[in-house]
Amino acid sequence: MLYIVGTPIGNLKDISVRATEVLNEVDLIAAEDTRHTAILLNEYGIKKQMISYQKFNERASTQKIVSLLEEGKDIALVSDAGMPLISDPGHILTEELISRDLPFTVVGCPNACISALILSGLDASSFCMLGFLPEKVSERRKLLDDYAETKCTLVFYSSVHDVDKDLVSLYEKLGDRKVAVVREISKVYEEVVRGTLGNVPEFVHKGEFVIVTEGAKKDFSNTSVEERYAFYLSSGLDKKEAIKAVAAERGVAKSVIYAQIVGGEEICNTKKRE
């Protein structure tokens, strides 16, 4: 299991009891800055092996962590302060875990919005918390109309009595975009169901819910494939990953983008030889 652990943003005593227990029990701690995290661990007499997990080695460290998890190790992920993934490294790791169907959970965050956002596996770099949807149909439609084109991830609270109705309302206004239904956060029966609006897998109708949907698709029609490919390369992706990312945002097969990129590179190389 991977435990994504929130740590104090200032006073070291602001850590939760469960967070200290998890840090003391895992096999390994992946830290944004091992020297910084050592100060927290020393405060609570925790002696654990640490590895670096920060934005400059995120992809390489992700593969190492995944391998250790598949071996049966328990690992805690911490940032310098606060919650990983919220303007801190971690999203690449959770994406990989979801793709491999490996479990992860959140520890030490007394906020359902933040916890559900991380558990959803959706983009946590920017998000909008909208709370409970209004009961009145007209007000509900107005709210969703106002945020339908918002590019950031959207987070909604929902009750057991309204969750199905809320999912229908979101589908009608937001369309067939990615969604995660999260319930019973940090409890024994914590559950995360991921799918798309209009095609949500079955889930248990008990407890309190948070619904997390991806934001509106960004429009790259005025940006060339080559420009987006170069952007992803500059962001640290390798060529294969960059092609995959460009294909995903344009909704086409990877082979289409590959042919265009490779063809363009061959033309450039020919001109250089001439």
pLDDT digits (tens, 9 = 90+) for 13-36: 999 999 999 999 999 999 999 999
Q: Is the pLDDT of residue 265 over 80?
A: no
For 39-65, what is the mean pLDDT?
95
pLDDT confidence of 158, banded at 50, 70, 90?
Answer: very high
For 75-101, what is the mean pLDDT?
95
Least confident of 12-21, 159-168, 221-230, 263-272: 263-272
pLDDT at 153: 97
For 103-110, what is the mean pLDDT?
96
pLDDT at 66: 97
pLDDT confidence of 267, banded at 50, 70, 90?
Answer: very low
CA gap 105, 83 in Å, rounded = 12
For 56-79, what is the mean pLDDT?
96
pLDDT at 248: 79
Q: Is the pLDDT of residue 271 over 50?
A: no
pLDDT at 228: 87
| CATH 3.40.1010.10 for the 2-110 domain, yes or no | yes
Average pLDDT across the chain, whole number: 92
pLDDT confidence of 273, banded at 50, 70, 90?
Answer: very low
pLDDT at 163: 98
pLDDT tens-place string over residues 171-229: 999 999 999 999 999 999 999 999 999 999 999 999 999 999 999 987 777 788 998 89
Q: Is the pLDDT of residue 6 over 50?
A: yes
pLDDT at 247: 86
Task: Output the 3-class SS for the chain.
Answer: CEEEECECCCCHHHCCHHHHHHHHHCCEEEECCHHHHHHHHHHCCCCCCEEECCCCCHHHHHHHHHHHHHCCCCEEEECCCECCCCCCCCHHHHHHHHHCCCCEEEECCCCHHHHHHHHHCCCCCCEEEEEECCCCHHHHHHHHHHHCCCCCEEEEEECCCCHHHHHHHHHHHHCCCEEEEEECCCCCCCEEEEEECCECCCCCCCCCEEEEECCCCCCCCCCCHHHHHHHHHHCCCCHHHHHHHHHHHHCCCHHHHHHHHHHHHHHHHHHHHC
pLDDT at 241: 85
CA gap 193, 25 in Å, rounded = 27
Write down the domain spans for the chain: 2-110, 127-213, 225-273
| CATH 3.40.50.300 for the 127-213 domain, yes or no | no
Q: Is the pLDDT of residue 251 over 90?
A: no
For the entire predicted model, the pTM comes to: 0.82
Could you tell me which residues are beta bridge partners of residue 183? Answer: 191, 209
